[in-house]
């Protein structure tokens, strides 16, 4: 079984514990996200800007993790923040280039103070740039402080100037208790104009809804089927955000603007495209704004979606449903991803596909989003 290469539209860095202490004044650093583990290692408390979130540490039933590794409070594989070790892992796994998101930084979407959100985003982006500069294979998404749109616009411009090519936005805009409720909100149009002008890709990672400790507890189902239901729930936020941008005309007015939804699978795109088109046609008297293309076509053309293990629904979007923008994502270095068995997963998903379809899913769709990334080595026979 020769090595076949893939780009990953869903990867992460795990930030060093002292990231904020070394990049921010002490008063601000203390309010940025940090995790404190219980003595038993099974639960953690995430502290963010005076809020506390309790959660059980996820551990897969099978896979690459030993009990000793699970007990490690950082659950870090060596490459989580060390670029030479990371590239060794990527070469072994057959991952060439990656779009990377923060890990602890995803909790920054729960911040409610615009000043802290801006300072924290700048610190994360400065650090992301340090990482990205160590290898041309890395595409690090910039965090945007969305609590104040002027701050978001300024930081997007700074990120582009620094050389970052994507911006990470939460799947629901605004803090849990106010501001924007939908990406269709016209007050966000100046941000879309700037992202479009700068050629920045909009990157949504599932599970990034801003929460309060109360709303997070509310969606954390601990009853029958809870763990599976919680995981299924994380799928919807990215779908909703993409649909808002398609139906509202945001993407129609900016046909070069591109969106990627990471870690949410790809099978939902054909389904949602049909739903949007049906709504557009069958409720046409109430539809506003009118679009130059059907909203489902907009979703197909401008929205990309990553999958990892999904054997039923992901590759068939490309082979049977005409969706060209599905792409692989490994979720490295998170344990719920394909680390340790990426080659097996890629072969299982792609070996029966036509070569051009397999290439599009593994390499081509990602390269279309980030054309500056070098071409991967040839696959092994």
**Interacting residues toward Mn ion by CB under 5 A:** 10, 263, 331
Closest contact distance (angstroms) between CB of 101 and Mn ion is 6
10 or 252: CB nearest Mn ion: 10
- CB-based burial, 307-317: b 16+ in 10 Å, e otherwise: bbebeebbbbb
Closest contact distance (angstroms) between CB of 262 and Mn ion is 6
Exposed / middle / buried, residue 294 (Cβ in 10 Å: 0-12, 13-18, 19+): middle
Give 215-219 contacts, CB < 8 A, sequence gap 24+.
Answer: 215/176, 216/53, 217/54
Closest contact distance (angstroms) between CB of 331 and Mn ion is 4
For 81, the 3-state DSSP assignment is: coil
Q: DSSP class of residue 378?
A: P
24 or 203: CB nearest Mn ion: 203
Closest contact distance (angstroms) between CB of 238 and Mn ion is 11
Closest contact distance (angstroms) between CB of 114 and Mn ion is 27
Pairwise CA distance, residues 341 & 239, whole Å: 27
10 or 379: CB nearest Mn ion: 10
Pairwise CA distance, residues 3 & 201, whole Å: 29
102 or 295: CB nearest Mn ion: 102
270 or 329: CB nearest Mn ion: 329
Closest contact distance (angstroms) between CB of 336 and Mn ion is 8
Question: Using an 8 Å Cβ cutoff, are 235 and 264 in contact?
Answer: yes
Pairwise CA distance, residues 204 & 212, whole Å: 20
- Tell the residue number behind the tokens 């701050």, with chain if given: 151
10 or 49: CB nearest Mn ion: 10
């Amino acid at each position: 079984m020769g090595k076949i290469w893939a780009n990953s539209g869903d990867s992460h860095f795990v930030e060093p514990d002292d990231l904020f202490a070394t990049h921010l004044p002490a008063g601000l650093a203390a309010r940025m996200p940090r995790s404190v583990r219980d003595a038993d290692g099974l639960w953690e408390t995430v502290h963010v800007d005076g809020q506390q979130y309790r959660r059980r540490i996820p551990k897969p039933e099978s896979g690459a993790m030993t009990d000793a590794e699970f007990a490690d409070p950082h659950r870090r594989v060596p490459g989580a923040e060390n670029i030479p070790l990371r590239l060794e892992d990527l070469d072994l796994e057959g991952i060439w280039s990656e779009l990377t998101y923060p890990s602890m930084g995803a909790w920054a979407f729960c911040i409610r103070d615009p000043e802290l959100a801006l300072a924290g985003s700048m610190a994360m982006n400065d650090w992301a740039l340090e990482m990205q500069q160590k290898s041309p294979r890395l595409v690090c998404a910039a965090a945007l402080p969305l609590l104040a749109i002027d701050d978001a616009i300024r930081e997007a411009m700074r990120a582009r100037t620094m050389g970052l090519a994507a911006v990470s936005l939460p799947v629901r805009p605004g803090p849990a208790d106010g501001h924007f409720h939908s990406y269709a909100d016209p007050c966000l149009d100046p941000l879309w104009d700037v992202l479009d002008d700068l050629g920045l890709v909009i990157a949504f990672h599932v599970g990034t809804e801003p929460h309060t400790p109360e709303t997070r507890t509310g969606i954390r189902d601990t009853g029958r089927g809870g763990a599976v239901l919680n995981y299924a729930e994380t799928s919807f936020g990215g779908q909703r955000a993409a649909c808002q941008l398609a139906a509202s005309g945001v993407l129609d007015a900016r046909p070069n603007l591109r969106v990627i939804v990471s870690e949410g699978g790809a099978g939902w795109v054909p389904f949602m495209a049909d739903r949007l088109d049906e709504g557009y046609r069958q409720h046409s008297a109430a539809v506003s704004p009118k679009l130059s293309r059907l909203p489902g076509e907009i979703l197909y053309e401008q929205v990309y979606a990553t999958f990892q293990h999904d054997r039923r629904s992901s590759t068939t979007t490309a082979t049977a449903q005409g969706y060209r923008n599905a792409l692989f994502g490994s979720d490295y270095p998170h344990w719920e991803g394909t680390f340790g068995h990426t080659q097996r997963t890629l072969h299982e998903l792609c070996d029966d596909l036509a070569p051009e379809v397999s290439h599009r899913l593994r390499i081509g769709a990602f390269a279309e989003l980030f054309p500056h990334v070098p071409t991967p080595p040839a696959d092994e026979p």
